[in-house]
């Protein structure tokens, strides 16, 4: 008993924390917490501020056109008539095309990297595919304009039109190669690395025992993928595709460089078109009137709503249906 | 034992029938997957090859250090200034958000913050351009590079915060406990133990974020596009010449005369971005390995 007392006494003498120091530390803790909390609030507040400012900028157009703006198809800045129908159509077509073409390619790359590639090869190709996402969109668009569009116009479009012309989407090629088709190809290049890197991480998380078990029962590699790998990760892969879709929807620069600024809804993929984001990039710097600017802000509101929805949906699907916390990005 | 049940010893050992079909399907799937990887690599190689082969001819000392029309020095300088200002805003906030997630918020707070960061990350850059326009440019009634930097900072913020948070989470718990056991206050151990051991990862996450922001065009064409390409300036409170906007303008005008310079600038931008992200990735992997071992 006396021993513990001595220890306690020695301890209190040994550490000798002055009350001032203690108070300083408490104060420091509180300040540190306060600063971190403030930073977190700034980050959270940024989203609301962005949303508020975009809606604020769109106010004149919202009060003038109301909800009809979303489906009206006239866009005539000179007459002050605006509707986003054509733009929505263009956005939907280019993004859907990019996803339909890019999604399977990206998933196949993910499978290749996890199941097929030898270790060294995978370690090189994986980062290289991700580098595709690091190329600035303006440079990809410039490349699309100067290199891809002429090639598409001379070779790809005539080929598809001659051989599959009976399908209306492969209509008469136009003169420049600047078309919805070219824009979709550029978007495909942007979407692939995003989906590929997420699905690679997902496929890696599939338990080895399940795959080995299937293989031991005589399943071929494809049957392991079909029966084990894809079913356990399907929700995550869908979430990844939605994230890729969100990227494709919001891309403004590269699309506006290669889509050729068409103003009608056409079934023909080889005709020029326009998208919500692309229209903002193209017309905002030279907007004629305040109403024109407000209409472009209204496009931004639609874009923002779709984009946030896509992200929330992807997060929700990823969490709700994921295999044991496999999704973590 | 009747003779009929003994397999024919002269039959070939290759599978037949259903097994053969399944193996062919599997083989085809393998080839398709490999082909997909080859296609993606080919796209990367073709784009980079085009940029290098068309841009290399334009690059010289004059090209780098003089004003337009002999060179593009002001654009390069402006891009550096805009990226630096953006990073100066985004990095402290990003790291503090990461600290908030790992050190202070509970599990629920961390989930909310991660969701917030993912939403921020998902905002299209053109939206951030519109935001910077109405928030700063329209309010001041003149274009400023600072407005562009604010938009870029919002792009960088979630990247830096998520990257730092992942590294901070790898800092071993016993480092914190040792610090606690020595009677060090929480904030002191955060600043002197946790942060320094995660510093490598934080810096590389920041480099990756800068590489991403440096090529962003959409915010800049709305906030810093009316500039004089012949004046060197580092004042962020006016419209600064910058590389992405210039490339965009050239491609919008569709005048092949400007293409050579645009390719030259593309080459400079792409090589900086690619080397930065490759290097940062390698460093990040290394510092993560070091922390978790």
pLDDT tens sequence across A143-153: 999 999 989 88
Arithmetic mean of pLDDT, A10-29: 72
Q: Which of B50, B130, B259 sits opposite A297 (nearest CB)?
A: B130
Helices A276-283 and B125-132, axial angle in degrees (round to 10) = 40
Close Cβ partners of B253 (under 8 Å, ≥ 6 residues apart)? none
* H/E element, A10: helix A2-15
> What is the CB neighbour count within 10 angstroms for residue A288?
11
Identify the closest residue of chain A to B124 by CA–CA distance.
Answer: A250
**Contact (CB, 8 A) for B201 and B284:** yes
For the question of whether the overall pTM of this predicted structure is more than 0.80, the answer is: yes
Which is nearest to B207 in space by CA: B284, B149, B270, B150? Answer: B284
Q: Tokens 């509180």 sit at which residue?
A: A30
In the prediction, which pLDDT does A16 show? 61
* Chain B residue numbers touching A49 (CB-CB < 8 A): 131, 135
* Chain B residue numbers touching A40 (CB-CB < 8 A): 96-97, 100-101, 105, 113
* Overall size of chain B counted in residues: 293
pLDDT tens sequence across B126-145: 999 999 999 998 888 888 99
Check pLDDT > 60 for residue A328.
no
C-alpha atoms less than 13 angstroms from C-alpha of B228 in its C-beta half-sphere: 6
Q: How far apart are CA A284 and CA B138, in angstroms?
A: 13
Check pLDDT > 80 for residue A216.
yes
Helices B195-214 and B259-292, axial angle in degrees (round to 10) = 160
Q: Shortest Cα distance from A144 to chain B (angstroms)?
A: 9
Q: Shortest Cα distance from B21 to chain A (angstroms)?
A: 11
Angle (CA) A69 A74 A75, round 5°:
90
* Chain B residue numbers touching A139 (CB-CB < 8 A): 47, 51, 215, 247, 266, 269-270
Q: How far apart are CA A180 and CA A188, in angstroms?
A: 12
pLDDT tens sequence across B217-266: 999 999 888 888 888 888 888 888 999 999 998 888 877 878 888 899 99
| H helix runs in chain B, sequence order | 17-55, 61-65, 73-99, 107-122, 125-132, 138-140, 145-170, 173-181, 186-189, 195-214, 218-223, 243-253, 259-292
């Amino acid at each position: 008993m006396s021993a513990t007392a001595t220890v306690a006494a020695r301890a209190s003498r040994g550490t000798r924390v002055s009350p001032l120091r203690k108070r300083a530390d408490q104060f420091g803790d509180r300040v540190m917490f306060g600063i971190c909390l403030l930073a977190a609030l700034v980050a959270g507040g940024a989203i609301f501020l962005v949303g508020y400012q975009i809606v604020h900028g769109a106010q004149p157009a919202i009060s003038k056109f109301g909800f009809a703006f979303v489906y009206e198809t006239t866009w005539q800045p000179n007459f002050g008539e605006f509707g986003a129908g054509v733009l929505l159509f263009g956005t939907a077509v280019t993004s859907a095309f990019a996803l339909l073409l890019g999604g399977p390619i990206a998933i196949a790359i993910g499978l290749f990297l996890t199941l097929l590639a030898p270790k060294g090869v995978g370690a090189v190709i994986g980062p290289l595919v991700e580098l595709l996402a690091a190329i600035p969109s303006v440079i990809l668009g410039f490349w699309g304009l100067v290199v891809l569009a002429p090639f598409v116009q001379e070779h790809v479009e005539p080929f598809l039109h001659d051989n599959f012309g009976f399908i209306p989407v492969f209509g008469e090629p136009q003169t420049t190669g600047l078309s919805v088709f070219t824009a979709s190809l550029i978007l495909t290049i942007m979407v692939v690395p995003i989906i590929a890197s997420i699905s690679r991480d997902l496929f890696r998380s599939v338990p080895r025992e399940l795959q080995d078990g299937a293989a031991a029962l005589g399943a071929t590699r494809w049957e392991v993928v079909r029966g084990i790998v894809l079913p356990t990760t399907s929700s995550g892969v869908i979430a990844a595709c939605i994230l890729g879709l969100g990227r494709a929807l919001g891309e403004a620069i590269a699309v506006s460089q290669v889509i050729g600024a068409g103003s009608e809804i056409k079934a023909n993929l080889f005709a020029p078109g326009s998208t919500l984001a692309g229209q903002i990039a193209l017309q905002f710097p030279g907007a004629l009137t305040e109403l024109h600017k407000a209409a472009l802000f209204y496009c931004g509101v639609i874009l923002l709503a779709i984009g946030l929805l896509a992200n929330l949906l992807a997060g929700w699907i990823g969490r709700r249906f994921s295999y044991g916390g496999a999704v973590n990005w | 034992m009747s003779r009929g049940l003994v397999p024919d010893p002269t039959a070939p050992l290759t599978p037949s029938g259903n097994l053969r079909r399944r193996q062919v399907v599997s083989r085809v799937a393998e080839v398709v997957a490999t082909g997909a990887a080859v296609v993606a690599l080919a796209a990367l190689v073709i784009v980079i090859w085009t940029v290098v082969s068309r841009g290399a001819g334009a690059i010289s000392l004059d090209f780098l250090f003089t004003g337009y029309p002999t060179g593009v020095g002001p654009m390069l300088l402006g891009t550096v200034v805009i990226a630096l200002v953006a990073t100066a805003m985004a990095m402290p906030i990003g790291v503090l958000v990461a600290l908030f997630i790992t050190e202070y918020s509970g599990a629920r707070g961390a989930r909310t913050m991660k969701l917030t960061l993912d939403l921020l990350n998902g905002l299209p850059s053109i939206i951030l351009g519109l935001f910077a326009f109405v928030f700063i440019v329209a309010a001041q009634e003149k274009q400023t590079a600072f407005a562009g930097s604010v938009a870029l900072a919002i792009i960088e913020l979630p990247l830096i915060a998520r990257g730092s948070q992942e590294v901070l989470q790898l800092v071993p718990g016993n480092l914190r406990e040792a610090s606690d056991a020595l009677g060090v206050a929480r904030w002191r151990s955060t600043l002197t133990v946790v942060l320094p051991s995660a510093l490598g990862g934080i810096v590389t996450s920041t480099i990756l974020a800068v590489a991403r922001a440096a090529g962003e065009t959409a915010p800049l064409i709305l906030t810093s596009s009316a500039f004089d390409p012949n004046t060197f300036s580092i004042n962020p409170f006016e419209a600064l010449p910058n590389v992405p906007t210039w490339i965009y303008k050239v491609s919008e005008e569709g005048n092949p005369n400007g293409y050579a310079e645009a390719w030259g600038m593309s080459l400079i931008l792409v090589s900086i971005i690619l080397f930065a992200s490759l290097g940062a990735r390698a460093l990040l992997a290394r510092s993560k390995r070091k922390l978790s071992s």
